[in-house]
Amino acid sequence: MQRLISSLRFQLSAAFVLLIVLFGAVSLATLTAFQRQIDADAVVDIAARLELTANRMHMQAMNYDANAPRDYPTYHRDVALYYRDLMAQLRLFDDVVACFMSGDFSRVLGRPTARMQPANEPAIAAAVATLESTWAAHREGLLDALGEDTAKPRLEWAAEYNAAHLDNVEAAAGTLAQRLRDWARGEQVRLRLLAATLLGAAVVIAAGLLALLHFFGVRPLKRALTAVRRATDGEFNQHLPVTGATEMRDLAAGFNALSARLHLLFQLLDRLQRGDDLDELIGFLSRDFRGLLRFDWIGVVMVTPDNATVRLEASALDGIPEAGSKPLFRLPGTLLEQALAAGKPMHIRDMVSTAAANPGYEFLRDIARRGLADAIFLPASVDMPVPAVVAFATRTPGCYDEPHLRFLNNIAQLITASFERTVRLAERRRLAAIGEFASGIAHELRTPLGTLSFALDHLSQLSLPERSERRVHLARAEAARMGRLLEDILLYAKPLQLASQPVDLVQALAEAVAVFGAQTEDRRCRIRISADMASAMVLGDRDRLQQILVNLLANACEAVPPEAMVSVRMTIIEVRRVRVQVCNPSAPIPPALLRRVFEPFVSTKPTGTGLGLAIVRRLTALHGGEVRLEPSEEGVVVDLTLPLIQPSQGQPQGRQRTPKQNLPRMLATSLCAKE
């Protein structure tokens, strides 16, 4: 009830109704007062008519007394005229005096009217009493003068009586009329005062209502609008006083919660963008965001390379990081696997009962043993080098209500994306350390490997037994493979500088096919090439572009069985971009591995180094292009796109270009290796 009374809707409705009632009451009171004034003026007019009637009776009496009839015809005429007029005046006097005595003037005014009591005024009451007694005495004397014979009244005696005694009635009627005029003027003054008072009261009450509306509604709304504008400008840490009507208080409280969340989320985003350590990130969230995210425990579990287990990489309880070993838990058939497959937040209510009903939920039991009740799993696996789940848990059952779940669902992408970035940075830092270490090892191994290769070359020129010759040949092949591996490691690890110039990508593809054919004389591999254009000019390093194409051809041919056909298609797409697609009919690559094929040291071949496609992606990015590997109906497709340049920017320099008329013959080559 109190909330309803304090609501802005109720207050506005009550103020509106009160204003209507107030102005209605003022209008009704004013109209009543005006009607009373009209009636008062009518009473004054009646008193004036009474005074005029008395004066007329006196004048008629004097006139009749001076010209009394001397014969019967004249007398009968006066009876018909003067007597009848005299009796009408008597009746009028009787009615008016009776009205003044009773206060009801309906009969005289000829319409219904409220009872008026001007006689309540002492002066008017005295004047009415004087008029009544004077008229009663005069009326009695006048009727005695007229006699009892109404057919032959004594008109002359009546006229003499009126002329001699009517002055008292005239004086009494005049006194009453004057008293009533004074009373009417007072009523008029009181009417104006009442109207002014009522109008002033209405204005004061209306102003008070407007002030209350401004204080409880408009002012809080203006503060809210100012805070919203500041928040729009980026000042998220705004706070409104929770005052005013219920709606304004709810609005201020909601805005304060929103502002606090935006401020915390902005801090979270800023901190996450600067963080690259998972333990520091978990500690930061535990210290500053436990209230916002409502958790007592937070942890990050990552899927191991075998996709069979997960490892708890980092966790914190009550804001304190948990030290110790990183335990492993089973993944298949668990809620973690379901969360990763669904790709959206998962709420687990009553973890103890859920874990007890499912013996395989080892991770859930490990969380519940800390005394926690509910948990939420946020999967982070879209762009992660390693799929992971961010888990929140609380001791309070039912803490994760529907509004909070909607809030977590809305910010889940921000949190998981931030964790993904942190994990990627950590992974890159780990790979950078590995690359630096591998680069140093490669430099150290090049010299002894070169010495070993010279020795093996020398041994291969000697006359050796067949068994020894086979072993020397095998050793030379392994030394060559190790040399190529060291070159790949150095190429991936060291900084690269491009000698950029306009390069015809069609010509570069033809040269790459020739180079690849010369490097694979002992392997049969058929390649079919098609191009929609005679030339495609790109800006880049000729040798690096050729290396990209050779690596793609090598990966495609190594993935297919002998005699299989690898197709290469070159087309112009979008605006000023060229696409090179290398398609091979190999077995499909598992989706989990497909997302990581461009990472270093990740290979689909048992003997692969995992650097070929990583080098391709690095070189392609340096040329402003993109490279993707996608499954298709034909097998596996490597999609390479590079930006084109206008031919007017120059022709390739350095090596002599193959004449354009020879390109169709070279591109029609269907066998890169000798058969």
- Amino acid identity of residue 164, one-letter, is A
Of 197, 191, 192, 196, which Cα lies nearest the Cα of 36? 191
Which range (83-97, 227-241, 575-589) has the least confidence? Answer: 227-241
Q: Phi and psi (nearest 5°) for 673?
A: -105, 155
- Alpha carbon dihedral 492, 496, 502, 503, in 10-degree steps, equals -20
Residue 336: CA count within 13 A, CB half-sphere: 32
Give the 3-state secondary structure of residue 515.
helix
pLDDT for position 111: 62
Q: Distance (Å, rounded) from C-alpha 166 to C-alpha 162?
A: 5
The mean pLDDT of the chain is 75
Which is more confidently placed, 390 or 562?
Answer: 390
CA 166 vs CA 64, 153, 370, 436, 490: distances in Å = 14, 19, 119, 140, 145
Residue 615 has pLDDT above 70, yes or no: yes
Predicted confidence band of residue 125 (pLDDT cuts 50, 70, 90): confident
Q: Distance (Å, rounded) from C-alpha 155 to C-alpha 69?
A: 10
Predicted confidence band of residue 6 (pLDDT cuts 50, 70, 90): low
Which is more confidently placed, 324 or 545?
Answer: 545
pLDDT for position 660: 39
Residue 326 has pLDDT above 60, yes or no: yes
- Average pLDDT value for residue range 189-207: 81
pLDDT (tens digit per residue) in 636-670: 888 899 988 855 344 444 333 433 334 433 443 43
DSSP code, position 218: I
Give the 3-state secondary structure of residue 659.
coil
DSSP code, position 649: G
Please list, in sequence order, all residues whose beta carbon lies within 8 angstroms of the beta carbon of residue 601, skipping any fewer than 6 positions away: 434, 609, 610, 611, 614
Other Cβ atoms less than 10 A from the Cβ of 648: the count is 8
Predicted confidence band of residue 522 (pLDDT cuts 50, 70, 90): very low
Q: Distance (Å, rounded) from C-alpha 88 to C-alpha 401?
A: 95
Structure tokens at 275: 């963080």
pLDDT (tens digit per residue) in 110-119: 666 545 556 5
User: Residue 600 class from Cβ within 10 Å (0-12 exposed, 13-18 middle, 19+ buried)?
Assistant: buried
Q: Distance (Å, rounded) from C-alpha 530 to C-alpha 508?
A: 14
pLDDT (tens digit per residue) in 8-63: 667 677 777 877 887 787 778 777 777 777 777 777 887 888 888 888 888 878 87
Residue 629 has pLDDT above 80, yes or no: yes
pLDDT for position 646: 59
Predicted confidence band of residue 211 (pLDDT cuts 50, 70, 90): confident
pLDDT (tens digit per residue) in 212-264: 777 766 777 777 777 777 766 666 667 777 766 666 667 777 777 777 767 76
Please list, in sequence order, all residues whose beta carbon lies within 8 angstroms of the beta carbon of residue 72, skipping any fewer than 6 positions away: none
Return the percentage of the chain with pLDDT > 70, whole number: 73
Give the 3-state secondary structure of residue 432.
helix
pLDDT for position 273: 62
Q: Does this model's pTM top 0.85?
A: no
Q: Are 177 and 51 in contact (CB under 8 A)?
A: yes
Structure tokens at 648: 């007017």
Q: Phi and psi (nearest 5°) for 233?
A: -80, 0
Predicted confidence band of residue 393 (pLDDT cuts 50, 70, 90): very high
Return the percentage of the chain with pLDDT > 90, whole number: 1
- List, in sequence order, every residue forming a beta bridge with 639; answer none if it has no partner: 581, 628
- Alpha carbon dihedral 367, 371, 375, 379, in 10-degree steps, equals -20
Q: Distance (Å, rounded) from C-alpha 201 to C-alpha 207?
A: 10
Which range (83-92, 273-282, 653-662) has the least confidence? Answer: 653-662
Of 553, 551, 532, 571, which Cα lies nearest the Cα of 673? 553
Of 39, 61, 63, 43, which Cα lies nearest the Cα of 51? 43
